Amino acid sequence: MIDPVASLEGPGRWIGQIYPTSHFLTIARGTFSKALSLTDLWASFIPLLIAVPLVLGLSVWLLKKQEG
């Protein structure tokens, strides 16, 4: 991500806040650059824990059966 989500406005900020990559980057930067612990980063894990089953469920539901 080139621009931090905090600097975005309008729909861009909304999309950035629900996009899982922005939360993953927050976790990665906090872990490797700032040596933050799990207790410091727990709020960024919640959207990822919601996004993984949601994306997986949608992909299974929308995937067309391949019969051959």
Tens of pLDDT, residue by residue over 7-59, are 888 888 888 888 888 889 889 999 999 999 999 999 999 999 999 999 999 98
pLDDT of residue 3: 63
pLDDT of residue 21: 87
> In angstroms, rounded to a whole number, what is the distance separating the alpha carbons of residues 15 and 10?
9
pLDDT of residue 5: 77
pLDDT of residue 57: 93
- Phi then psi for residue 31, to 5 deg, are -75, -50
**Angle, vertex CA 49, rays to CA 31 and CA 54, nearest 5:** 140
pLDDT of residue 8: 82
